[in-house]
Every structure is written in C-alpha cells, then in structure tokens.
Amino acid sequence: MPDTPRNPSADAEITCMLASIREGDTDALRRLVPLVYDDLRAIAHGRISGERNDHTLDTTAVVHEAYVRLVDGEGRDWRDRAHFFAVASSVMRHILIDYARMKGAKKRGGGVVPIPLGEVQAGRDPDFVDVLELHDALERLSMHDERLERIVECRFFGGMSMEETAEALGVSVRTANRDWRRARAYLYDALRS
C-alpha cells in the first residue's frame, strides 16, 4: 500500500461504501470487494513472503480469511478507508498468529512463521523472528502503550504508509513517526533477548 499511489476518488468511494455498510446496506459489502481486494492481497503477500517454501498458507487464503472475519465480525463501523485497513491489518496479524499456533500444535517447533526483523527495525540486516514471539512482544508493548501496538499493526502487518497510519489512528504524521521509532526500538530490544 505505501508504494501504491493513492487515488482520492477510489478512497472516497471506499469511504462511502463503508458508510453504507454501517447503515446496513448488505449489497455494499459485495461492491466493496473489488475496491479493496488488491490492497488486501498486497498486504497479505508482504506478510507471508518470508515464509518457508513448504508452508501451506498463501496470499489468497489470508485475504479470504481476513475478508470473512471482517464482514462476519460484529463491528462493521469502519470510519473510512484508513480505518478499514487498520482493522484489516489487525485481522491479518491474528490470522498469522492462529496459523503459527496451529502449525506449532501439530508439530513442535513447526509453528514458526518467520518475519524479517529488518522490517521492524529499519537499518538492520533482515533477521527472522517467529510471529508468535513478535505477537508476545506486541502484547507486552500494548500494556505500556496501546497506540504503539496499533502503529506496528498498521505499518508492519498492514503495510500502511506513515500518512495512512496517522490518519487511521487520528494523530499527526509527526506523532506517528515518533511512535513508530519508539515501537521499533521496543521491539528490537524485546526480540533480541
């Protein structure tokens, strides 16, 4: 998503459809799919691209599972495009965690879904970290500052630009940049040990 040029009219159309969904228009869900599908695929592809060659989770499966969870979820009160993708980021995070736990339960040590640590801590060579370790670190981070956890979900799991992240969280870009630096520093320290 950060590398994709924003289309203000498409953003407005998505926001309009999300408003229709909030008002109970079930047909708006069907019309929303083609507008968000490519972005959801890009997010999912970015998150699973570092996996082993023998993994069974693919981009399409993640997108379909995320979409099912998004539309079947109780709260469909998405404010706008940025908020929708922030929620989608969180959903995809939990899909990856559920997948890693399931794989780990089937085969001890088999639940590793490697994620490039370099994506969390810019400027480092990409090491890989278990998604469950990252999840645990994010859980601890949220106890200190929930917004820092949400910024990681948007940026890392959602692939959102800093501007989109700031918009989704209702903060300035400057605040989002500062929070992103703090979150990465925390995660770097937490995942090194």
Note whether residue 2 is domain-resident.
no
Query: CB-based contacts of 105: which residues, under 8 Å, 6+ apart?
Result: 111
Task: Report the phi/psi class of residue 123: left, alpha or beta, with left for phi > 0 and alpha for psi in -120 to 50.
Answer: left
- pLDDT given at position 146: 94
Note whether residue 1 is domain-resident.
no
- pLDDT given at position 163: 92
What is the total count of domains within the chain? 1
pLDDT means per 10 residues in the chain (193 residues)?
Answer: 61 88 84 88 75 64 85 73 87 84 60 48 45 86 93 86 91 96 92 77
pTM equals: 0.69
Domain holding 32, by residue range, is: 8-192
- pLDDT given at position 170: 92
Note whether residue 165 is domain-resident.
yes
Give the separation between CA 121 and CA 124, rounded to whole angstroms.
Answer: 6
Note whether residue 94 is domain-resident.
yes
The separation between CA 188 and the C-alpha centre of its own chain, rounded to angstroms, equals 19
Note whether residue 111 is domain-resident.
yes
